[in-house]
Every structure is written in C-alpha cells, then in structure tokens.
Structure 1
Amino acid sequence: MHRDAAPSAHEGQAQSAEPSIEDQSSPVSTEGLQERILARLDDDKAQDIVLIDLKDKSSVADCMIVASGRSHRHVGALADHLLRLLKDLGAGKARVEGLPDCNWVLIDAGDIIVHLFRPEVRVFYNLEKIWSVDSPHRAAAN
C-alpha cells in the first residue's frame, strides 16, 4: 500500500511571488527605495510630486523628491508614512527636520532627500527652480 507523505508545514502555505517587506534581510537599492517613496506619496495623495536627479549635480545625494500636502496635517501624515516605510525597508536612520510645524518637512534618507511642503511654502522656496537644469528662468537667460 502506497501512502503519500504528509505535507510539511511550509508546503501547505501559499507562496507569494515577491517577498514581503519583513522578509527582506538587506536594505532596498536606491532605485527601489526611490520607487517605493514615489508610490507611497502617490498612494497618500501628495500633490505635484517631482523627482530631481542629482547624480551629476551634487555629492550629497543621488536624487531629491519634492511634493506638496494640502495642509499641515497632510504634510505631517505624508512624512509619518514615509518614515514608517523607510524603517520597514531597513533605511530607518533617516534624519528629519520640520515635523513640529509641518510647513516644510525634510527627510534625509542618505542617497534620497525628500522635501514635503504646504503649497504656499513650496512656491516661496521654489526648490525645483534651484536644482532643475531646464527651469524656465535659465532658458530665458540664454
């Protein structure tokens, strides 16, 4: 008489195609982290999300992400969700500035710097104009 072996504890469970965040033993690459940050901001309804490539412009970081929240509370929630994401992905040592007021929150995650603004504060500082090669004021100067 032939008897089938009982399934092991792991065989009976469904296997997912991708490992969960908790299963990842090493931190995500810069490109992967950048994609996850952009996706999180999009999911959280951040406004005017801009990615600025800094690889040939600065030795401080590889890229900068600038986004707006609708209010102090929205900017704070965006920052909180990004900090949780960074921690879950093994990049939890990010430095943060501006959380108490939530007018402009800066999250320094090493190779990626994230700036979260209230819209009127973003217009005032206009970081995209400072870092962007193709900004309108530079084109007008030529």
Structure 2
Amino acid sequence: MMADATQRLFSISTAAQLAGMHPQTLRQYDRIGLVRPQRTAGRSRRYSLRDVVQLREVQRLSNEGVSLEGIRRILDLENQVHRLQQRVGELETALADALIYRPGARTFAAGVAGEVVTLDQGRRRVLTGGEIVVWRPGP
C-alpha cells in the first residue's frame, strides 16, 4: 500500500537529506513557520513527503531572491489552494452521490415482453434469461 503524501514519516535528518538542506535550517524554518512538521509524543519532528517538497520549494524561491516572509506568504497561499482543492473534491463526490440517490429519481428498464419496468433506486434488478439493462447517466 502506498503512503499518503501528508503522512508524517521522516525524521528531521532524513527530511533534511531529502531536501538537500542542513537539519538546523529545517529547525529555523519550523521556528519561523515556513514548514511546520508534526511533533511526536517525545517532541521530535516528523516530516511528510509534502513537507519535503515544500522545503525544496523554499530553497528554490530563496535561491531566486525571494525573502523568507515572501516565501511564507507563497506557501500559505499554496496550502490554502491545496485545502480548497480537497474540499472541492469532497463536495463533488457529495453532489454526485446526491444526484444518483436523490429522492424521487426513477430508473426504468425494459422487461422481457418489452414492457417498461420501474427499478428501485439503489437496488439491483435480478435478471432472468433474455433481459438486459441499459444505464445512461442523468443530466
């Protein structure tokens, strides 16, 4: 199973190595709020893959001359966009579910003799020999 990009897996030394930085730099970035790792019960820092990507972005922006305050603001906006994209995905799923299982929605099929058969929403029809069910998504 693949780990989530936000799962906190890496110690400070591993994250520093992956980001190409010194661990002290990561401590400084944590103090000023650029990249905030999660803390274990023993107060040691744990970084996610997403944190490592952000550390690399901090390094890139710093090399381009962006101030640490400017980098913090950029990262805050990127994090906000990420949260909003997640929320949009949740809302799209909820909307799709609501449209599929909305009250009063009706699904029809053709019976063996060509008659129209109403199907219960969310239930499968048991097919007997010779029947087919055609599904077309609604508007």
TM range (shorter): under 0.3
Which protein is richer in helix relative to its size?
A: 2
Relative CO higher for 1 or 2, CA cutoff 8 Å, sep ≥ 6? 1
The alignment's TM-score, normalised by the length of structure 1, stands at 0.23
Q: Which has the larger radius of gyration?
A: 2
Which protein is richer in strand relative to its size?
A: 1
The alignment's TM-score, normalised by the length of structure 2, stands at 0.23
